[in-house]
Structure 1
Amino acid sequence: MTALGLLVPGEPAEDDYPRVEQLLGSDIRIDLIRADPAGDSPQRLAACTEELRLAGADSVVWASVTGAVAEGWEGANGQVRGLARTAGLPASSTAFGFVRAARELGVTRVAVVTAHEDPAFTEFLRAGGVSVVSTTPLGPDLAASAHPAAHADAQALLLPDTSLRTVTHLPALERQLGKPVLTAHQITVWEALRLTERRVNAPRLGTLFTREPIVQA
């Protein structure tokens, strides 16, 4: 059994994680703990990570893009190092997961669709070697909003909002666009698995879960 420990900000869309768990197979478990590494006290954060460790987590990921990129690339690195020290486990964040997933897919240019445009996220991606060629506001129709990712210069579409339920839409979006789609909950779980050195073939979770690694990060 591989147990993935996720520190989540607490949003209704987090019911996507049980859906991911079902698609991964019976030997992978996803444990969620609500916490804010940027705002919680050290005592609260230590209690959260200790709870995950005692539950048998093999890795820890801070599952908030906004919370991770607010302090820039170096600040996000410091945040992850702090989580690793507190948890005594390999640690990362969803923000770093986006960068590593792009590298694994050989992607350097992306389109972003988001409900809340965040220049800090664009700068974070740039620091990781990924350029944003277009940013489009999220509309009521996810598929229609994703259409700008068909832009010839974009090699993939990013949906970084943790407030979106996206897991069930991944196969249809990738068929529509003809390119990889990377979403917050999908990336969070992939990054947690990467930390445990697990590779899982799960086509219903998108191209990222069917590709052999291009690079090791």
Structure 2
Amino acid sequence: MATIGLLYPGHSAEDDYPRLETRLRQDAPDAELRLPLVHTSVGEDAHRVDALLDLGGTDRLAEGARSLQERHSLDALMWACTSGSFVFGWDGAHEQVAALSDLTGLPTSSTSLAFVQACRSLGAERVAVAASYPHDVAEHFVTFLRRGGIEVTAMGSHDIVTAAEVGTLGREQVMAIVEGAERRDAQAVLVPDTAMHTLSWIEDLEGTAGMPVLTANQVTVHEGLRLLGPVPRLPGLGALFVPTRTSS
């Protein structure tokens, strides 16, 4: 059984993960995946760079990691937050997870790094971004992807200021965000924000887009599994969980 600990900021779409666990127990009992989660502290719930730098601060993450290890025997650890990792830049995001790994002794990554690895796993070099964030924050994600060798062909932002509001978006609203993305020349659509519910709708989103769709909660699970070895084929989670090549 793989046990991937999740550091999740605040309260918005954290129920995506236990719902996935429940569904996999029914549809893929051999997967044996556990996703214990702890809520990391939040100073201000705002998609604003200064607030996001505080959200991903060392002390907040270390406190959450220690709490998770006290409660669970973990195989890997994920900082389940996109904006609270990419705002630190490419080098800063790596330093962020290295500090957590040093603290816990666990293989560790973050959702931002997971997006880059997921693109590599799919062989997707050109992507469209459909972001919930304000434009300036979304631009930080675009810069991060480019630093990881991923070309962004188009970026759409939806100016949602708080994670709490993103967490209220339903299936039709998330579908509309993906459908509205400019997908010409792209090989995949990226939907960053772990505050957005998506794990129950990946295949619907891919049907709408006509191509692979990578969402924050989806790539977080994928990266946690990738840290432990070959990623198993899991039903309902889209093209990313149908292994076609070895990621680096």
* TM-score when normalising by structure 1: 0.90
- Aligned-pair distance for 1:40? 5.3
CA RMSD, Structure 1 to Structure 2 (Å): 2.0
* TM-score when normalising by structure 2: 0.79
Q: Deviations over 1:138-195 (max 9, x none)?
A: 4973223212446230100111022211112211111222210000111111111111
Gaps in structure 1 of 5+ consecutive residues: none
Tell me how far apart the structure 1 counterparts of residues 61 and 180 of structure 2 sit (CA, whole Å): 39
What is the SS of the residue equivalent to 2:127?
strand
How many residues end up aligned between the 2 structures?
214
What is the SS of the residue equivalent to 2:98?
helix
Alignment partner for residue 203 of structure 1, among 219, 227, 235?
235
Query: Structure 2: which amino acid aligns with 1:28?
Result: L
Aligned counterpart, 1:181: 213
Q: Deviations over 1:123-150 (max 9, x none)?
A: 1000001111111234973223212446
Aligned counterpart, 1:50: 66
Question: Compared with structure 1, are the counterparts of its residues 86 and 77 closer, same or farther at alpha carbon in structure 2 (3 Å cutoff)?
Answer: same
User: Could you tell me whether the CA contact under 8 Å between 1:149 and 1:156 is conserved in 2?
Assistant: no
Question: Compared with structure 1, are the counterparts of its residues 135 and 33 closer, same or farther at alpha carbon in structure 2 (3 Å cutoff)?
Answer: same
Structure 2 residue 129 is matched with structure 1 residue 112: yes
Aligned counterpart, 2:143: 123
Structure 2 residue 204 is matched with structure 1 residue 172: yes
Query: Structure 1: which amino acid aligns with 2:185?
Result: D
Structure 2 residue 37 is matched with structure 1 residue 32: yes
Q: Which runs of 4+ in 1 moved over 3 A?
A: 23-26, 44-47, 137-140
Question: Compared with structure 1, are the counterparts of its residues 50 and 172 closer, same or farther at alpha carbon in structure 2 (3 Å cutoff)?
Answer: same
Aligned counterpart, 1:76: 93
Tell me how far apart the structure 2 counterparts of residues 66 and 132 of structure 1 sit (CA, whole Å): 17
Quick check: 25-34 or 8-17, which moved more?
25-34
Query: Structure 1: which amino acid aligns with 2:174?
Result: L
User: Could you tell me whether the CA contact under 8 Å between 1:180 and 1:206 is conserved in 2?
Assistant: yes
Tell me how far apart the structure 2 counterparts of residues 208 and 178 of structure 1 sit (CA, whole Å): 14
Gaps in structure 2 of 5+ consecutive residues: 42-54, 159-168
Question: Compared with structure 1, are the counterparts of its residues 46 and 113 closer, same or farther at alpha carbon in structure 2 (3 Å cutoff)?
Answer: closer
